[in-house]
A and B are shown apart, each in its own frame.
Chain A
């Protein structure tokens, strides 16, 4: 038996819990009060006006002039998320954290202990979350992850729903394919072009046709449409190894100013490098991403002969990619840097003295920032990005804000 726990309008619920004056009111959580800031979460009261995650702030105000904007506090959400996961670990030792506000639990071995079936177990979990955190959650129960996630979304907010095996096919027959986790807007359009709109139709579709079009993913999708999913609930110790480390940021204003773009790439490169070093990794492939003001996103990569975890080198390569291969002809609204083809950095040292010096210097920088706080020491050029303003991504890396 698998449970899927999904906190309801999480960021907004946390802010409403922290400030009673926000309760019952349309609230959106944003990165800042800039007009182009994105709505990270909307409370259910705001959703009643049609406001959704991903709306621009000015769009939300147009839909509901009385909407209250709260600037997000990622550390608060991370701290409460850590407590949430501790609560869930009281019900099962197999808890797979999906995001800051979602997790799967395999409770097969716990049902007898709690003398519960799926629905009762889901209610116990929901009740414990409410008691401990005072935050609303929806919980789905089902034989596997794909159905448990579907169940959690059935009766939001504060919903509990169990999909029993015998009922699964009937429920899936007319369900739009877009309702399945793993089938996003692009796949939905591609399936639509094949005349497949519902899970029933996907289930009946030719396996060969799906494989030709989507490869192994076509097989998975057809299995999901039949309520089949044998992927296990992976607890944190079994998590798949990190394959890449990256950061991106939406700029407060579109820009073509090369100095601003350089400052942001340097900031992002240093952040990526710091995370690599914290994780004990180095990487060979550096990817730079740019999204222009017409929302077109392009990424290009370069693979180096040696792995690196040095911000300067990552920055150098990212800028080279940007200026020679991305070369946007329009103002930029988002920039990103990521490093992949990771290897362990254990015992790494460099023969070239200048590289070894850099490695020792960045080690000192990491120590100072670890002791006194992130960005205590940073490059002067990054100040340009800070003055221009940046929208901090909402989710800090796991490990911060632990209760």
Chain B
């Protein structure tokens, strides 16, 4: 098992459901990956920016997505590869 630090902008599709923001897919490296499960989500702060992070499963790997709620930018922070 290894962790790769990515830190790249990605396109994300998400739904608002039951007062929660749930990512449903993300586009990374021209491949659209479906989020099969959101394992964990948590909030954070960097300076004045409110951040939201999601640990999601797709295709057997675990990805960490970051939403900057100030800029509305999504980034793929890292991926845990089997």
Residues of chain A having any CB pair with chain B under 8 Å: 14, 17-22, 68, 71, 75-76, 79-80, 83, 134, 369-373, 376, 400-403
Contact = CB atoms under 8 A, between A and B. Distances in A.
Interface stretch (B11-19, B26-34, B37-45): B37-45
Q: Which secondary structure dominates where chain B touches chain A?
A: strand
Contact of B62 (A21, A79, A372, A402): A21
B48 A18 contact: no
A18 B46 contact: no
- Nearest 6 interchain pairs by C-beta: A79-B42, A18-B55, A372-B47, A373-B46, A373-B47, A18-B40
A134 to B, nearest CB: 8
Nearest to B57: A20
B48 A76 contact: no
B47 A370 contact: yes
Nearest to B64: A18
Nearest to A403: B43
A18 B1 contact: no
A371 B49 CA distance: 8
A79 B57 contact: no
30 contacts: A18-B39, A18-B40, A18-B55, A18-B62, A18-B64, A19-B39, A19-B62, A20-B57, A20-B62, A22-B1, A71-B3, A75-B42, A76-B40, A76-B53, A79-B43, A79-B44, A134-B40, A369-B47, A370-B47, A371-B47, A372-B47, A372-B48, A373-B47, A373-B49, A376-B47, A401-B44, A401-B45, A402-B45, A403-B42, A403-B43
A256 B39 CA distance: 45
Query: Which of A369, A400, A401 has the most chain B CB atoms inside 10 A of its CB?
Result: A401
Contacts of A369: 47
Nearest to B62: A19
Nearest to A22: B1
B35 to A, nearest CB: 13
Contacts of A402: 43, 45
Nearest to A80: B42
Contact of A75 (B1, B40, B44, B48): B44
Contacts of A20: 37, 39, 57, 62
A401 B52 CA distance: 10
Interface string B51-71: 001010100001010000000
Contacts of B80: 19, 21
A372 B71 CA distance: 13
Contacts of B49: 373
B4 interface: no
Contacts of A68: 1
B57 to A, nearest CB: 6
B43 to A, nearest CB: 5
Contacts of A19: 39, 55, 62, 80
Most buried by A among B37, B39, B40, B43: B40
B24 to A, nearest CB: 18
B47 A401 contact: no
Contact of B48 (A14, A71, A371): A371
Nearest to A399: B45
Nearest to B55: A18
Nearest to A135: B40
Contacts of B53: 76
Nearest to B80: A19
A326 B74 CA distance: 49
A57 to B, nearest CB: 16
Contacts of B57: 20
